[in-house]
Amino acid sequence: MSCLLGACIVSAQLLSGGMYTEQTQNKATDTANVTHNISHFYEVQNQQFKVDGYLILDTGTRIDIGYDNGLESQKRTRSQALTLGITQLNFIDNDSYIAVGVSTKLGGRVTEIPCTDDSGMNRQFFCDNLATLQPFAQPKYVKSTKVSINYNHKFNWDLGKKI
Q: How far apart, in whole angstroms, are the C-alpha atoms of residue 74 and residue 117?
A: 17
* pLDDT of residue 31 exceeding 90: no
* pLDDT of residue 131 exceeding 90: no
Query: Which sequence spans correspond to the domains of the chain?
Result: 3-153
On the CB side of 142, CA atoms within 13 Å amount to 4
pLDDT tens figures, 80-113 = 999 999 999 898 998 999 999 999 999 999 898 8
- Residues 112-140 have a mean pLDDT of 74
Does the model's pTM come out above 0.95?
A: no
Residue closest to 15 by CA, chosen among 57, 40, 58, 50: 50
Residue closest to 65 by CA, chosen among 101, 15, 110, 20: 15
The pLDDT value recorded for residue 154 is 87
* pLDDT of residue 44 exceeding 70: yes
